[in-house]
Amino acid sequence: MSWRKPKGPIIANNDGTFRINFTDHERETLLAFVDQLESLLAQGASDDRLKRLYPVAYHADPEKDAEYQGYMRDELSQSQAASITTVKEVLGATEPVSEAQIMAFMRVLNSLRLVLGTMLDVSEDTDEDDFEEDHPLYGQYQLYGYLGWLLEWTIATVSGQ
């Protein structure tokens, strides 16, 4: 009997493409979160929930950081918008996706995690026990964990692990 790697949410095809193995409900749910991220980004980078997407580059020099943000923010925002557009197309389609499309998918997953992690105030010191079932943010923390698992799975699939 030969062992086969179980199928998961992202599957690598032999031709260098990938298949997103989601149910229609999973696709719709993830699309709703992507739409929320897009709306949040459209509100502007001043929203505190976006601070991990636009991190401070020069903590000790606010002027230098403002200059950096002036150069990079538009580029980062355009990259985010392009990735979101790609992910919406990918989640709406059933055919295999390219490596570039799966990379956009990973960027959006990471962005969703960063925003959610900011909202939850997740840090290196955060413990799962901080979000017990009776915690008001338990569901959001579970989503944060799921997005992390999905991102990890996708990275492992892309890297051939």
Judged by DSSP in three states, 47 sits in coil
Mean pLDDT, consecutive 10-residue stretches, the chain (161 aa), reads 65 94 95 96 84 90 90 89 97 93 98 95 84 90 95 95 72
* The model's pTM: 0.89
The pLDDT value given to residue 3 = 45
| 8: in domain | no
Residue whose C-alpha is closest to residue 21's, from 81, 90, 88: 90
Instruction: Report pLDDT for 102.
Output: 97
Q: Does residue 161 fall inside a structural domain?
A: no
Q: Looking at the domain assignment, is residue 82 inside a domain? A: yes
Q: Output the pLDDT for position 84.
A: 98
Question: Is 47 among the domain residues?
Answer: yes
Any domain includes 6: no
Domain of residue 64: give its range. Answer: 18-155
- Asked if residue 11 is part of any domain, the answer here is no
Number of domains in the chain: 1
Which pLDDT score is estimated for 2?
46
Of 96, 73, 83, the C-alpha closest to 12 is 96
Classify residue 56: in a domain, yes or no. yes
Q: What is the pLDDT of residue 44?
A: 75
Task: Give the model's pLDDT for residue 71.
Answer: 84
